[in-house]
Amino acid sequence: MRLRFIPTNVHGAIDHAVAPALVAAPTLLGLSQTSPEGIVARAVGATEAVYSNLTDYEMSLKNVVPMRVHLVLDLIGGATLALVPQLTGARRRGAAHWMPHAAIGAFEMAMALLTKQEAPQSTPVRAKRVAGLARRLLPV
C-alpha cells in the first residue's frame, strides 16, 4: 500500500484555500484579536500563504522551496494549530476556541503525511505550462 497518494497539485489547491481561511477564521468565529488561538491561526495561515507560493509544485508562483520542506512546514503548522489552544487553556473558553484548531491541525498533518513528495513534472516544464496558460487567460 502506498502511503503517499495525494498529488501535489491537489495539495497545492487545498493550500491556496486553507491559508486565507486560517487568516479569516478567527474573525468569523468571533475570537479576540489578541487571543493566542486567534493570533496563531492568523500567523500559520499567513506563513502558509507565503511558502505555498514559493514551493516547487504546480500551484506556486516561484519554485524555491522543495516539496519535502513544504510538507515538514505543514506538519509543524498543523501541530501548532492543534496544540496552542490546549497549551494556553483556551479550550476552557468553549469549543470555538479549540475545535476548529484541532480539526484543521489534524487535517494539515494528515495532508502532509499523505501527499507525494515530488511534483510529477520538472520545474521548467511546469513553468512553460503556466506561462502558456497565463498568455491564454490574460491576452495582452
Task: Answer yes or no: is pLDDT of 6 > 90.
Answer: yes
The sign of the dihedral angle between the CA atoms of 120, 114, 134, 52 is negative
Dihedral angle over CA of 4, 60, 58, 116, nearest 10: -10
Q: Which helix (H) or strand (E) holds 37?
A: helix 36-52
Q: Return the C-alpha cell found at 109.
A: 498533518
Q: SS3 for 55?
A: strand
Confidence of residue 126 (pLDDT cuts 50, 70, 90): low
Give this prediction's pTM: 0.82
